[in-house]
């Protein structure tokens, strides 16, 4: 197992380029199962989650090959299996995204029922209710969700909550269903829009993406396509928070600034200067300490839950008291206890963290508990006095491409080492 060793205190400066979006590429890879043929997907980040999705679709009969550093050639002509096994789904919950594409492409899917994860229970009841509304028969057997769709037809799907994965699964199931499907209370995230754009390029008829009502008119067949993944807004947001905490001055290239509006608005309120410049963001922190800001996570276009932990790290050195409320996942505050080990004053009451800013954090040995929590500990370490060691960084490799190289490029003192104290 690897760990990161960080010597805090360097102000980040320079230019960094963000990669393709993790949360966009996973459903795009699943969508290639919808229609047999050859696809090329560009701007694919080299991440552990991407490798896991490749492993999963390979088990279904896909041949995937890297043709360039960030470009995949996907051949789905040999897809002949509809079973997503426990061994893969337990490693990555997003494996459940093959449910919709297997139904759309093969009219049957058997997918290991995903369990809870570190940040919450994360049920898939809304995915299954939506599939049932499209005429699917859904059964749970021996830990697997078994779905058959002998008469896949359009239907009205009303989500209780705007679920990202649920919206993506229903989109993929509905594109070749007979008739019209309407998804109400649909997720509006840019990653959902990216999937719709790829499906449209394949010949799907979809309207309303980006709003809370999406209409899909089923088509008889689709055509494979080439597609480039959108930039990762959460990776960009993570660099913004790192810039803020180190009083840095950086340029983030290759992002879509309007995808980050809720984040940049809040960070400006905290005292950062952030300028949008085409596909770049120029960010600087000239104040000694950020102002305390309050944050409440909500579905897009609100403040993303995937930026909550990183912003909490920034607030640990703010001038004042900040309230950070998590409304999407019920257990997404595990980083608070680790931040306390670095001297932060964080009290968690229910789903709100009260952070009283301190002058300074001090380096410590801390443990990553999930993907974004790992990012928050790295951010805290960049500003802390002394050395911080973040263990269990396999979490960060799930969702950040070469984060230590990118941070080093900005002047951070961070290195990856073998963690001798941990089992392998
Ligand atoms: C996706 C993102 C994740 C992000 C999350 C919220 C991917 C691969 N992951 O996860 O990074 O943090 O969106 O923006 O894209 N819910 C139910 N029943 C369901 C489905 C969801 O109750 O059937 C609840 C969840 O428990 C959660 C909320 O709805 O409280 C939102 O979850 P959802 O949008 O589905 O998240 P994911 O798609 O799993």
Of ligand 1's listed atoms, the one at least distance from the Cα of 371 is 11
Using the CB atoms, write b or e for 193-221: b if 16+ within 10 Å: bbbbbbbeebbbebeebeeeebbbebeee
Tell me, in angstroms, the distance from the centre of ligand 1 to residue 358's CA. 33
Predicted local distance difference test score (pLDDT) of residue 424: 40
Q: Which two tokens stand for residue 140?
A: 């749970």
Residue 243: active-site member:
no
Predicted local distance difference test score (pLDDT) of residue 336: 97
Query: From the first residue on, what is the mean pLDDT of each consecutive set of 10 residues in the chain (424 residues)?
Result: 95 98 98 98 97 97 97 98 96 95 97 80 92 97 95 96 97 98 98 98 98 97 98 98 98 98 98 97 97 98 98 98 96 94 97 97 95 96 97 92 97 92 50
Task: Give, as one character, the DSSP assignment of residue 229.
Answer: P
Mutating to test ligand 1, I would choose from 23, 163, 262, 329 the residue with most ligand atoms within 8 A of its C-beta, which is 163
Paired sense of beta strands 63-68 and 83-84, if any: unpaired
Q: Determine the Cα–Cα distance for residues 346 and 331; give it in Å rounded to an integer.
A: 15
> pLDDT tens-digit profile of 174-222?
999 999 999 999 999 999 999 999 999 999 999 999 999 999 999 999 9
Q: Determine the Cα–Cα distance for residues 234 and 357; give it in Å rounded to an integer.
A: 24
Predicted local distance difference test score (pLDDT) of residue 347: 97
Cα atoms in the Cβ-side hemisphere of radius 13 Å centred on 276:
13
* Cβ–Cβ < 8 Å for 244, 270: yes
Residue 165 Cβ < 6 Å to ligand 1 = yes
User: Using CA positions, which residue lies closest to atom 4 of ligand 1?
Assistant: 306
Residue 190 Cβ < 6 Å to ligand 1 = no
CA 318 to mean position of chain CA atoms: 26
Which phi and psi (to 5°) does residue 282 adopt?
-105, 120
Tell me, in angstroms, the distance from the centre of ligand 1 to residue 339's CA. 25
Predicted local distance difference test score (pLDDT) of residue 423: 46
User: Using CA positions, which residue lies closest to atom 31 of ligand 1?
Assistant: 163
């Amino acid at each position: 197992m690897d760990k990161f060793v960080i010597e805090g205190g360097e102000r980040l400066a320079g230019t960094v380029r963000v990669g393709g979006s993790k949360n966009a590429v996973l459903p795009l890879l699943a969508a290639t199962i919808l229609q047999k043929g050859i696809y090329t997907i560009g701007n694919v980040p080299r991440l552990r989650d991407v490798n896991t999705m490749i492993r999963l679709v390979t088990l279904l009969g896909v041949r995937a090959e890297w043709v360039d550093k960030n470009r995949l050639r996907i051949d789905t002509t040999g897809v002949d299996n509809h079973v997503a096994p426990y061994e893969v789904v337990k490693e990555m919950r997003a494996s459940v995204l093959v449910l919709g594409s297997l139904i759309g492409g093969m009219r049957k899917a058997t997918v290991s029922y995903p369990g809870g994860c570190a940040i919450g229970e994360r049920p898939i009841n809304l995915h299954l209710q939506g599939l049932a509304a499209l005429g699917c028969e859904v059964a749970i057997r021996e830990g697997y969700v078994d779905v058959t769709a002998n008469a896949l037809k359009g239907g009205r799907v009303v989500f209780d909550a705007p679920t990202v994965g649920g919206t993506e699964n229903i989109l993929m199931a509905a594109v070749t269903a007979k008739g019209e499907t309407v998804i109400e209370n649909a997720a509006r995230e840019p990653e959902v829009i990216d999937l719709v754009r790829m499906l449209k390029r394949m010949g799907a008829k979809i309207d309303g993406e980006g709003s809370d009502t999406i209409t899909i008119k089923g088509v008889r067949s689709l055509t494979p396509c080439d597609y480039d993944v959108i930039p990762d807004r959460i990776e960009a947001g993570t660099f913004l928070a790192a810039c803020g905490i180190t009083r840095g001055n950086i340029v983030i290239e290759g992002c879509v600034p309007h995808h980050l509006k809720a984040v940049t608005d809040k960070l400006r309120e905290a005292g950062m200067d952030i300028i949008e410049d085409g596909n770049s963001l120029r960010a600087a922190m000239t104040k000694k300490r950020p102002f305390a800001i309050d944050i409440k996570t909500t579905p897009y276009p609100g403040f993303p839950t995937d930026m909550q932990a990183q912003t909490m790290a920034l607030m640990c050195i703010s001038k004042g008291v900040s309230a950070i409320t998590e409304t999407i996942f019920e257990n997404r505050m595990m980083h608070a206890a680790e931040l306390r080990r670095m001297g932060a004053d964080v009290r968690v009451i229910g789903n709100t963290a009260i952070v009283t800013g301190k002058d300074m954090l001090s380096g410590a040995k801390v443990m990553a508990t999930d993907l974004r929590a790992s990012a928050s500990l790295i951010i805290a370490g960049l500003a802390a006095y002394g050395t911080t060691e973040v263990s269990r960084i396999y979490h960060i490799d799930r969702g950040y491409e070469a984060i230590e190289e990118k941070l080093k490029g900005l002047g951070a003192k961070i290195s990856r080492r073998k963690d001798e104290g941990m089992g392998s």
